[in-house]
């Protein structure tokens, strides 16, 4: 758990970045990330050196050679700020800076090191560099929760900064979706637009929280570290941030693919048992840029529809999906909108639609969204669909997003995992079931307002003559008050 002291230190350094001229929050997080990685490189070598000291022999393929000791975290952190800064900016050791060494470390540095192309050191002053290094040095890196929570706190700054917020889905919404799908032991989990890898991290945390005994099994640990998690992301900065987020949460070698998931370069089919995602909204691509098989489901240029086609293709038969979509996907009247809804409803099994209030993504977006939950079957299976009209998510729905007592999420989880009890529930309630026949009759419309019934309460008003008499009485009282005021004024 990140402490208040650590939060205040992060806040102070964040302000220092801004006053130092680095105003893009993604750049700030990226520079943090590089320094975290540089520290981890030193710790990896320390661990290997400990094994050699205990068992004997020689250190093979060291991250740092004997001549490169000055580039290690344990060395430069104790140097004068100016000396430290020169080690980062001037190639003094075998023609390398600390940053150059980090960029060329290769596979020895783990999954994060694979995405160093384009990495740039942007800390401009010795004072700021020393401030950040000393703060990072205080973090207990052997504590998965502390370092993971620290990084999540850094990522939350993206939202509070009010820019680049499209990269961050609110953590409590991610956790709600993960708790609804309840990842299992043999899952292969993918986010095809992974950004900072929030969904993948939340799935790993769910497993740690609910199934600690699995982590005692060697086979499960191997699957967890090497095969369970896959992320696809075309932005190299976000790919680096996502890789570090996963590593700090204890996932050492996830599969991360640096590409556009909708492009012709992505030919993944029937590979995953669970997809969790919040893909880009409101985007538009030329047909020539899109992988052709995606257009067979629904010929469209809209990214939100193309991603649904992609997820159906990437899922194994029996695979499940939880995805956030803009409201327009639920009721859009175009041929493509209807095609993708019909595909999911009639050829696969749609379980639930959770409509969320428009303030969920504030302060950076006010779009209304919903979460879809479906299973790929290829043979249908939708009998009835569960709808929930979320009004509150535990935070105010304005730009401040302060914590509140009103929160529908516990009720959503309880009801979703007990759908038998929802049978016969009135449509005037917050949640209810709708049979597939009725949805088909309404052209596969999935907006909750199409099926929700409004309960009108009769209001009794006084007779018109009585209302007029009351108005006359009020007018007479007003007249008397004015007359009294005139008397007081002489």
Higher-confidence residue: 329 or 21? 329
The band of 153, judged by pLDDT with boundaries at 50, 70 and 90, is confident
Mean pLDDT of 278-284: 80
pLDDT at residue 106, as a whole number:
63
Percent residues over pLDDT 90 in the chain: 51
pLDDT per position as a tens digit, 162-171:
444 445 688 8
pLDDT at site 237: 84
Which range in 62-66, 204-208, 459-463 is most confidently predicted, on average pLDDT? Answer: 204-208
CATH 2.40.420.20 corresponds to the domain 167-450 = no
- Please give the residue that has the higher pLDDT: either 297 or 232: 232
CATH node for 4-149: 1.20.1260
Q: Per-residue pLDDT tens for 103-148?
A: 887 655 566 667 777 788 999 899 989 988 998 888 776 766 677 7
Domain ranges of the chain: 4-149, 167-450
pLDDT of residue 449: 92
The whole-model pTM stands at 0.83
Question: How much is the pLDDT for 297?
Answer: 85
- Region 64-77: what's the mean pLDDT? 94
Q: Are 257 and 46 in contact (CB under 8 A)?
A: no
Exposed / middle / buried, residue 326 (Cβ in 10 Å: 0-12, 13-18, 19+): middle
Task: Please report which confidence band the pLDDT of residue 40 belongs to, taking 50, 70 and 90 as the band edges.
Answer: confident
Burial level of 121, CB count in 10 A (0-12/13-18/19+)? middle
Return the pLDDT at 36.
Answer: 87
Relative to beta strand 369-375, strand 349-356 is antiparallel
Topology agreement, domain 4-149 and domain 167-450: no
Mean per-residue pLDDT of the chain: 88
pLDDT of 365 higher than 90: no
Residue 55 or 391, more confident = 391
d(CA 309, CA 262): 10
Please report the pLDDT score of residue 107 as a whole number: 57
- Average pLDDT of span 33-38: 89
Which percentage of the chain shows pLDDT scores above 70?
93
């Amino acid at each position: 758990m990140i402490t208040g002291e650590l939060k205040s230190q992060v806040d102070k350094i964040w302000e220092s970045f801004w006053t130092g001229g680095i105003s893009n929050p993604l750049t700030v997080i990226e520079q943090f990330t590089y320094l975290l990685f540089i520290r981890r490189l030193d710790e990896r070598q320390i661990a290997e050196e400990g094994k050699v000291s205990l068992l004997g022999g020689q250190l093979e393929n060291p991250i740092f050679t004997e001549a490169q000791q000055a580039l290690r975290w344990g060395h430069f952190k104790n140097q004068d700020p100016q000396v430290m800064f020169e080690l980062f900016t001037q190639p003094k050791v075998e023609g390398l800076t600390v940053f150059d060494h980090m960029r060329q470390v290769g596979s020895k540095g783990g999954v994060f090191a694979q995405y160093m192309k384009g990495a740039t050191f942007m800390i401009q002053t010795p004072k700021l560099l020393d401030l950040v290094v000393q703060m990072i040095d205080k973090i207990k890196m052997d504590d998965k929760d502390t370092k993971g929570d620290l990084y999540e706190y850094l990522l939350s700054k993206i939202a509070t900064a009010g820019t680049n917020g499209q990269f961050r889905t609110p953590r409590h919404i991610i956790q709600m979706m993960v708790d609804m799908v309840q990842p299992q032991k043999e899952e292969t989990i993918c986010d095809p637009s992974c950004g900072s890898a929030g969904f993948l991290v939340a799935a790993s945390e769910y497993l740690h929280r609910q199934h600690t005994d699995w982590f005692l099994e060697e086979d499960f640990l191997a699957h967890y570290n090497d095969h369970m998690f896959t992320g696809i992301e075309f932005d190299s900065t976000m790919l680096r941030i996502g890789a570090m987020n996963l590593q700090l949460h204890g996932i050492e070698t996830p599969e991360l693919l640096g590409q556009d998931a909708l492009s012709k370069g992505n030919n993944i089919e029937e590979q995953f048992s669970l997809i969790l995602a919040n893909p880009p909204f409101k985007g538009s691509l030329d047909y020539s840029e899109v992988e052709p098989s995606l257009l067979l489901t629904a010929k469209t240029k809209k990214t939100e529809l193309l991603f649904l086609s992609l997820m159906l293709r990437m899922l194994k038969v029996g695979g499940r999906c939880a995805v956030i979509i803009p409201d327009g996907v639920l009721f859009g009247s175009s041929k493509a909108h209807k095609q993708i809804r019909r595909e999911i409803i009639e050829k696969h099994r749609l379980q639930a639609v959770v409509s969320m209030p428009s303030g969920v993504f504030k302060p950076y977006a006010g779009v209304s969204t919903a979460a879809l939950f479906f299973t790929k079957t290829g043979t249908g299976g939708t009998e009835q669909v569960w709808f929930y009209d979320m009004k509150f998510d535990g935070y105010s729905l304005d730009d401040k997003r302060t914590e509140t007592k009103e929160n529908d999420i516990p009720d959503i989880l309880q009801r979703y995992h007990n759908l038998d009890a929802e049978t016969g529930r009135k449509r005037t309630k917050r949640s209810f079931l709708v049979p597939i026949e009725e949805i088909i009759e309404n052209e596969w419309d999935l907006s909750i307002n199409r099926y929700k019934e409004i309960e009108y309460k009769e209001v009794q008003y006084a007779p018109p003559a009585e209302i007029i008499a009351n108005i006359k009485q009020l007018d007479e009282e007003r007249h008397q008050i004015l007359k009294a005021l005139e008397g007081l004024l002489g």
